[in-house]
Structure 1
Amino acid sequence: MNVRTPRGKLLRNTGLYIAAFVTAAFVATPILFALLGGFKDNQQLRENALGLPSPWNAEHYTDVLTSDSFWRQVFNSVFIALATTVIVVGCAAMVAFVFARFAFRGREALFTLFAAGMMFPFAVAVLPLFIILRTFELLNSPLGVILPQAAFGLPLTIIILRSFFRAIPGEVEEAAVIDGAGPWLFFVKILLPMARPVLATVSVLALVGSWNSYLLPLVVLSRPTWWTLPLGVTQFQGQYASDTAKVLAFVMLAMLPALIFYAFAERHLISGLTSGGTKG
């Protein structure tokens, strides 16, 4: 059947809508289960796990929100994620600018070395990384999480930014040089403003990746003072293993900042990926 006919278009669109609905349901179901489960007690969870709370009980959410440890973990996660994002995007932008706009011997080999970092799993580096951080006395310090996260986030960010920077026409740089702008001024005043969509994209990726990081904080941070929310969730589950409803409330509140941020940043993420794909 020709998909260009009205009937063909209807069948094609119906298939897309069904696939989108199934995907959305697959993603939203555990979130809704955690959200509603936090308003129930354990008896309701046992007897009516998939139904609406009856009665609605906000005690679990208020207990978590009035806990000092929860807000300390929120602050730690925000601080570490923002610091990691600033380092990753700032350093990657400068490195990608050099790889994209300067020709020098060994450039492609060096770029390949950076790109190879994407194929290096973090789990393999846990032991040597732990020894290095212990040598520099960075254990139980936010820097012990921020710096390795930034290092592991650089390869993908450099690849994305280099592709975008290379797509900028050479005439733009030539016009800037004629106006008296050097490489640094061209980078700061012209290239970075033009790269706002892709900078927003890599910022979102770095921020969300840092926010959801679990293994690295687990290895580095043994004291509760600098625990992030993923570690807090694990600790809370162990402390309230018999109170499933309260654990669901904590998990939901721990997910909420990332969900809100991603909802607002989705437009920038999609536009950045689209611009990178169309200009590359």
Structure 2
Amino acid sequence: MTRAWRKTVLYGLRYLLLGLAAFVMVYPFLFMVSTSFKSRSLALGDPTSLWPSDPTLENYIQVLGTENFARYFLNSAGVAVVSTALIVLLSSMMAYAFARLEFRGKRTLFTLIIVGLTIPTMMLIIPQFLLARDLHLLNSLPGLVPFYVGTALAFNTFLLSGFFQQIPRELDEAMMIDGAGPWRRFWDLIMPLSKPAVGTVIIFSFLGTWDEFAWALTVLNDVDNRTLPIAIALFQGQHSTSWGLVFAASLIAIVPVLIVYILFQRNFVAGLTTGALKH
């Protein structure tokens, strides 16, 4: 076997394995989309059939016509947008302080942030619940925001601080000569040059708050205050055999995440590859 032929075979095997891996990853999503367009009698039919023989929009019509579904969607949207905005603002300010400013205890504080990343979120449920009770934040949508922001700050601060350190300090010095203070350098220099990292933080933050289930289920009791993940879980319980309805509701819930990703996808890869590489 010649060297060129061997190289061709290796490339063929590589692409074959990658194709199989991609199919394994994508197939469950395709099956969910297909099932959402099937009638109830066909939903649990042949799992290898990805194209329904008689597609219907009945599942989506029923989901959108379900009482309070629109309210749950708006509840999740409001909480996710406000939480994401606060996460981006606060984590970028913290990251700027760690990356560009000098103050006493800087290294110790940053080490504590890194240590905080090792604590599983589920271990914080009880302490957070007690704190929310004492602050009278239980059973309210605004009460979700501080905890979503608090649990996301450590990772995003770490990500952004690594990116901020890659920006040449000579640019800071040039602005300082012109009389720019830390606040102006943050807004007019660091943030405009950090769009890839900020876009990555927006995607991660929105996805995390939009899909969050455990904490919302723990603190929300009022039916009108439920978020979309809770509504879908209860919807599945009410229609345990109507997988077409469940998948249709899940696909509707995916739409805002896809929109956010499409808007910031240009910055996503650059932010992942350049952030958090140095500190």
Q: Same fold (TM over 0.5)?
A: yes
Tell me how far apart the structure 1 counterparts of residues 80 and 6 of structure 2 sit (CA, whole Å): 47
Structure 2 residue aligned with 1:35: 33
Structure 1 residue aligned with 2:245: 246
Tell me how far apart the structure 2 counterparts of residues 117 and 95 of structure 1 sit (CA, whole Å): 15
Tell me how far apart the structure 1 counterparts of residues 274 and 168 of structure 2 sit (CA, whole Å): 14
The range that moved more, 13-22 or 134-143, is 13-22
**Helix, strand or coil: the match of 1:45?**
coil
Structure 2 residue aligned with 1:204: 203
Structure 1 residue aligned with 2:119: 120
Structure 2 residue aligned with 1:138: 137
- Aligned partner of 2:75: which letter? N
In the alignment, structure 1 residue 224 sits paired with structure 2 residue 192: no
- Aligned partner of 2:95: which letter? A
Tell me how far apart the structure 2 counterparts of residues 16 and 73 of structure 1 sit (CA, whole Å): 45
Q: How do residues 248-267 of structure 1 correspond to structure 2 at under 5 angstroms?
A: 248-267=247-266
Structure 2 residue aligned with 1:275: 274
Q: How do residues 11-90 of structure 1 correspond to structure 2 at under 5 angstroms?
A: 11-51=9-49, 52-90=51-89
Contact 2:148/2:209 (8 A) holds in 1: yes
Distance 1:120 1:169, change over 3 A: same
Distance 1:6 1:191, change over 3 A: farther
Contact 2:199/2:268 (8 A) holds in 1: yes
Contact 1:213/1:230 (8 A) holds in 2: yes
Tell me how far apart the structure 2 counterparts of residues 47 and 164 of structure 1 sit (CA, whole Å): 50
Deviation at 1:261, TM superposition (A): 3.2
What TM-score results when the alignment is normalised by the length of structure 1? 0.91
Greater helix share, structure number: 1
Contact 2:37/2:56 (8 A) holds in 1: yes
Contact 1:117/1:152 (8 A) holds in 2: no
**Helix, strand or coil: the match of 1:175?**
helix
- Aligned partner of 1:99: which letter? F
**Helix, strand or coil: the match of 2:275?**
helix
Distance 1:115 1:65, change over 3 A: same
Tell me how far apart the structure 2 counterparts of residues 266 and 23 of structure 1 sit (CA, whole Å): 23
Deviation at 1:29, TM superposition (A): 1.3
- Aligned partner of 2:18: which letter? A
**RMSD (Å) for aligned C-alpha atoms:** 2.2
The range that moved more, 23-32 or 41-50, is 41-50
Contact 1:73/1:227 (8 A) holds in 2: yes
- Aligned partner of 2:265: which letter? E
- Aligned partner of 2:216: which letter? P
- Aligned partner of 2:174: which letter? A
**Helix, strand or coil: the match of 1:76?**
helix
What stretches of structure 1 of length at least 5 have no aligned partner?
none
Contact 1:70/1:232 (8 A) holds in 2: yes
Distance 1:259 1:16, change over 3 A: farther
Deviation at 1:60, TM superposition (A): 1.0
Contact 2:35/2:52 (8 A) holds in 1: yes
Equivalences, count: 278
What TM-score results when the alignment is normalised by the length of structure 2? 0.91
Tell me how far apart the structure 1 counterparts of residues 210 and 10 of structure 2 sit (CA, whole Å): 38
Tell me how far apart the structure 1 counterparts of residues 48 and 221 of structure 2 sit (CA, whole Å): 37
Tell me how far apart the structure 2 counterparts of residues 44 and 32 of structure 1 sit (CA, whole Å): 16
Q: How do residues 117-196 of structure 1 correspond to structure 2 at under 5 angstroms?
A: 117-196=116-195
In the alignment, structure 1 residue 110 sits paired with structure 2 residue 106: no
Deviation at 1:100, TM superposition (A): 0.9
Deviation at 1:97, TM superposition (A): 0.9
Distance 1:188 1:153, change over 3 A: same
Identity, in percent, stands at 32
Contact 1:88/1:206 (8 A) holds in 2: yes
Tell me how far apart the structure 1 counterparts of residues 109 and 162 of structure 2 sit (CA, whole Å): 15
Tell me how far apart the structure 2 counterparts of residues 265 and 243 of structure 1 sit (CA, whole Å): 35
Report Cα offsets for 1:154-208 as digits up to 9, x if no partner: 1111111111112221211110011111111111111111111111111111111
Deviation at 1:15, TM superposition (A): 4.1
Report Cα offsets for 1:73-109 as digits up to 9, x if no partner: 2111111111111111111111111111122232111
